[in-house]
Structures are given as C-alpha cells and as structure tokens.
Amino acid sequence: MSIDPPKNHLKRALGGGGVQIGLWSCLASPIAAEVVAGSGFDWILLDTEHAPNDVADVHRQLQAMQGSATSAVVRPAWNDPVLFKRLLDIGVQSFVVPFVQNAAEASRAVAATRYPPRGIRGVATTTRASRYGRVKDYLARASDEICVIVQIETRVALRNIEAIAAVDGVDGLFIGPSDLAADMGHLGDNGHPEVRSAIEDAVGRIRMAGRVAGILAPVEADARHWIDVGCRFVGVGNDAGVLARQTEALAAKFKCVQVTS
C-alpha cells in the first residue's frame, strides 16, 4: 500500500500571501485540541515551551485534530535537534521555533528538519510521519512539506532580521511581544510605544526580506492592527486564556443572585 505524504496547507497558504489566524493551545489535552480544532481557526499551535506538553501528549493531540481543516503547528521547548527529531517522527510538519537570535541558530533549526545531506534529521522508516512506512518516497519528499517559522524575541534578533530571513528554509519570522518587551526593559508592557515601534519596524523589514511576518496578539484591536501592518500569521489568543476569562464572566453573572424564597 502506498500513499502520498500529507500536504502542508498552512505552508501553501502562507506562501500565497493569505492571512492565517490561529490559536495557542496550552491545555495539553487531546479533548481541548479536538474542540478548538473544530472552531474554524486556520491553525492551532500546540505549545511545549510554556505548557506541560511532552511528545506523547502532542502525539495524542495530533490524533485528536486529524480530520479537521485546521493545521497543527508545534512550538518545541527549545531549538534542539533532538526535540525536532521526535516531533517530526510523530508527524509534525509546521514549527514555531523559540528564541532564534541569528542566522546560525535559524540554520540549525532548518537543518534539524531536513534529512542529510541537507540537514541532520535522524532517519526512521516506520513512524506516524510516514504513516508507518506507507507514504511513497517519504524520505525524499518529506522536506517539501515542512514549515519553519522562527521567533524574534530580543533586541539582538531584531538587529539580525535580514540575516535570519535570508536562511534557506525559513518560511517566516514571528515576533514574540512579551519576551521582546522584557528584553527592551518593559516587562509586562507589550503596548509600550518603544515596543510597538520596534515591532512595526521589524514587520516591515521581514516583509521587505520576502518572508512571512507573524505575531501573537490576544487583544482584538492589537491583532487587527498587526494584520493591517502586514502580519500574515497571527495568533489571536490561547485556549487557557479563553477558558479562564469566559468562565470568570459566567461565574460573575451569578455572583449577585439572591434567593427570594
């Protein structure tokens, strides 16, 4: 039995210039992943950097999302080829890579997703990624469906945007506003004018370099602003935050209910 490799619809959509709207998933739950994958987002990011996910957790969440029209993206805990190898083998095709500061680190991330001689990905032939050996010519074709988006989170990374964007295999550069704000001396204040100015400048430079610009913007007005500025890969919230705020609002509606009889 032979089948074609799964197509990376997110990679193709970003290459076509369309805006792709997504949600961060931090609940580390296949049930949550299944629920949000049916909500109409273009992509869901399964986070392993700031969420209690391990490879087995991500595996179950990918299974829960299978069959939906929503693309799965995974953020590894770090730019580590061992982490990439394990995630690739369970079928991850799209990555957001944290804390990339220069071209060498971007190249390292890309190399971790490619087989030799183009990279250093380890070879396994009976994995979920190859549908347990059923994908025709998987080893030769897998790289065509890989999407690598690197995170820009520091002033050093801002200075190196053009060099990072020039790395072959980097599909996009994603601004991490919270870490960038902290590095700029404005911890907890993503909306500081200095931070916003730096982000606007960065988005323009990313686009001039021919790469997709992305950002996480859980406030609706901010998300719409960054789309207008030119971001095309935009996270508009996270499942834990949505659950917390919506349940708080629901509880508050009944806090003042009085028993009348």
The set of catalytic residues is 50
In one letter, which amino acid is 50? H
Question: Measured between alpha carbons, how far is 134 from 116 in angstroms, rounded to an integer?
Answer: 21
Residues whose CB is less than 8 angstroms from the CB of residue 121 and which lie 6 or more positions away in sequence, other chains included: 81, 84, 85, 88, 111, 112, 113, 114, 115
If you search the block for the tokens 């994908």, which residue do you land on?
135
52 burial via Cβ count (<10 Å: 0-12, 13-18, 19+): exposed
